[in-house]
């Protein structure tokens, strides 16, 4: 099965050249994000699930956009085989919904830790509905890295720009 073909995506208006692939393997209840890289290190991503399921969240951080500060939530899994393209200028996060979930994301720019920013997953202004009840996951059971627990708020991000 072909998972990616540049020409097919180019016909759809996505002509990004992906330079790095990342694979994340996680148990149920792992929450990552909301991550992005700034300035010349910004990344577009193409994400999909190889095994398991995720709730994928993207937040528009493009200040000149009509959807600035709004989010989209999409369930990606190994049954629907959908992919999500995330343009540069968006924050990205996900919640794993099944054990042993393998999540792949292709990036069009290399990882640069000095340009990485994280916005806290439960930011009050963004008010993201992670659908924890729907997926039978309790907030106290979420597995969040120490790094992601220290992410800044959306207001702090906007002040720091």
Please determine, looking at this structure, whether the domain spanning 17-160 carries the CATH number 3.40.50.1100.
no
Tell whether the torsion through CA atoms of 84, 25, 112 and 157 is positive or negative.
positive
Q: What residues are paired with 71 via a beta bridge?
A: 59
Give 45-86 pLDDT, tens digit per residue: 999 999 999 999 999 999 999 999 999 999 999 999 999 999
List strand residue ranges (DSSP E) for 1-126, in order: 20-26, 31-37, 45-51, 53-60, 71-77, 83-86, 90-96, 101-107, 116-118
Residue numbers annotated as active site: 35, 105
Task: Provide the 3-class DSSP secondary structure of residue 128.
Answer: coil
pTM of the full structure? 0.93
The full set of domain ranges for the chain reads 17-160
Give 123-144 pLDDT, tens digit per residue: 999 999 999 999 999 999 999 9
Written as six digits, the tokens of 110 are 């290399």
pLDDT of residue 11: 95
Interstrand relation of 45-51 and 53-60 (parallel, antiparallel or unpaired): unpaired
Residue 16 has pLDDT above 90, yes or no: yes
């Amino acid at each position: 099965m072909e998972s990616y073909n540049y020409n097919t995506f180019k016909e759809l208006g996505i002509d990004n050249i992906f330079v790095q692939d990342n694979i994340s393997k996680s148990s149920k209840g792992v929450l990552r994000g909301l991550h992005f890289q700034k300035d010349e290190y910004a990344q577009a991503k193409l994400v999909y699930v190889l095994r398991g399921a995720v709730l994928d969240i993207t937040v528009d951080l493009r200040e000149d956009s009509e959807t600035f500060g709004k989010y989209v939530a999409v369930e990606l899994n190994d049954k629907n085989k959908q992919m999500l393209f995330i343009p540069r200028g968006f924050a990205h996060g996900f919640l794993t919904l099944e054990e042993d979930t393998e999540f792949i994301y292709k990036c069009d720019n290399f990882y640069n830790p000095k340009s990485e920013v994280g916005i806290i997953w439960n930011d009050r202004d963004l008010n993201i509905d992670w659908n924890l009840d729907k997926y039978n996951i309790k907030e106290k059971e979420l597995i969040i890295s120490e790094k992601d627990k220290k992410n800044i708020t959306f207001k702090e991000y906007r002040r720091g720009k």
